[in-house]
Amino acid sequence: MDPLDIEDTSDWLGCPTELETCRYFLRTYENEIQELTLQMRKAREDVFGLVQMHADVSRERDQLRTELAKAKTELADSNRRATDIETKSNWELMANSRHISELTLRLRELTGEKPFDSPFPHQRDTSLT
């Protein structure tokens, strides 16, 4: 295309000059850069807030894990003590039962009863059926 065929519009009313166009785009870029800088600053603050929240939650999680381990240890100790008490109680019951049996046998001997006869004389004989 021949340069003479291109219409020169620089003197038209309302048409910006090259300098005005450059200044306009410069201000537009400055505004965009300021806006992006603000968005980046806010994003950084958000990231730092999330990092802090994560650190707080991690610290709380570790504390709760420690408390859980302590509770499990206390539970195991309590179960062991309960088992020990139950075992001791069972042994005491068996010892008392044996002592009662021995005293009953001794009482029967002293009263003249046959110690190994059945204490229930009216039982039905089931061996015949």
Number of domains in the chain: 1
pLDDT band at 9 (very low <50, low <70, confident <90, very high): low
Q: What is the pLDDT of residues 95-116, one digit of tens each?
A: 999 999 899 888 888 887 776 6
In a domain, 127, yes or no: no
In a domain, 8, yes or no: no
In a domain, 117, yes or no: no
In a domain, 32, yes or no: yes
Range of the domain at 83: 15-110
In a domain, 41, yes or no: yes
Whether the predicted model's global pTM rises above the 0.75 cut: no
In a domain, 9, yes or no: no
In a domain, 47, yes or no: yes
Q: How many CB atoms lie within 10 A of CB 30?
A: 10
In a domain, 94, yes or no: yes
CA distances from 101 to 97, 121, 122 (A): 6, 18, 21
User: Token pair 């009482």 is at which residue?
Assistant: 107
